Amino acid sequence: KAGVTQTPRYLIKTRGQQVTLSCSPISGHRSVSWYQQTPGQGLQFLFEYFSETQRNKGNFPGRFSGRQFSNSRSEMNVSTLELGDSALYLCASSLFYSGVDQYFGPGTRLTVT
């Protein structure tokens, strides 16, 4: 069974631009969660999608948004990028909503200049 895939793996953007990241969960998994990982803050929860609905949300500004499609694939969008948005963005999939056994993808390394 293929693992969680994320595209692109690396991205360089300029301050003020927007970016869209993609995540394909493990086949059969219906929940996708997104996390931001930085050296200073560690893993911070962004949001969770299940059955195309956002079920849980972390403490991030509205510039961070996401969506989930009927095939459970998910996208995350960050608008008006700031330097502080530079981070590794990880998605994790699980079978069910708020499933604790989450399987992570390799992440997208976003650098904002």
Partner 1 sequence: GQQLNQSPQSMFIQEGEDVSMNCTSSSIFNTWLWYKQDPGEGPVLLIALYKAGELTSNGRLTAQFGITRKDSFLNISASIPSDVGIYFCAGQGQGGSEKLVFGKGTKLTVNP
Residues forming contacts to partner 1 in the complex (CB under 8 A) are 4, 33, 35, 41-43, 45, 48, 55-56, 58-59, 90, 92, 97-98, 100-107
- Name the minimum Å distance from CB 108 to partner 1: 10
- How far is the C-alpha of 6 from the C-alpha of 74, rounded, in Å? 10
Residue 60 burial (C-beta neighbours within 10 Å; 0-12, 13-18, 19+): middle
- Name the minimum Å distance from CB 85 to partner 1: 19
Q: Which of 51, 32, 38 lies closest to 99 in space, CA to CA?
A: 32
- Name the minimum Å distance from CB 16 to partner 1: 28
